[in-house]
Amino acid sequence: MEKATFAAGCFWGVEHAFQQIPGVQSTAVGYTAGDLENPTYEQVCTDRTGHAEAVQIEYDPGQVSYDQLLDAFWQCHDPTQKNRQGPDVGTQYRTAVYYHSPQQQTTALASKESCQERYDRPIATEVAPAVVFWMAEDYHQQYLEKRGQASCHVPGSSP
């Protein structure tokens, strides 16, 4: 198993998108790349902790490649919007790929460059090393699945 970590706005819909991919063994939503240890949802929502809402994925590289995960990442949000997705605004909703190895870094940067060819505006996605991932509260895990919903995306918020 390998890990991948992505931030693409509200983590509920992003998690659901990755759960649909064969080879993804597990997903967890949480907070990363901030300044506060063990942050809560309420703290992150203040836009003062520096954390991004993110999804950490465990996947079987024999069933799904990191490139395929990156393709899903680019498709599930608008990577040209800095610190917002749809109605959600703040640094916690930024777009980011947090890599876990030099190979992931190289692949993510190449994928970002390729993705840029599809947009007129610059891609705002940061590519940065993975740091501590703080699990979100239990009620956030598999949030949409628990409620029988397929999406929380706002129509027209993705390319």
Active site residues: 10
| Cβ neighbours for 47, distance < 8 A, ≥ 6 positions apart | 90, 91, 92
For 75, what's the count of Cα atoms within 13 Å in the CB-facing half-sphere?
Answer: 10
In this structure, the number of other CB atoms found within 10 A of the CB of residue 134 comes to 18
| Cβ neighbours for 146, distance < 8 A, ≥ 6 positions apart | none
**Residue 116: Cβ-neighbour burial (10 angstroms; 0-12, 13-18, 19+):** middle
What torsion do the CA atoms of 148, 155, 119, 51 make, to the nearest 10 degrees?
Answer: -50
For the four alpha carbons of 7, 127, 2 and 23, in that order, the dihedral sign comes to positive
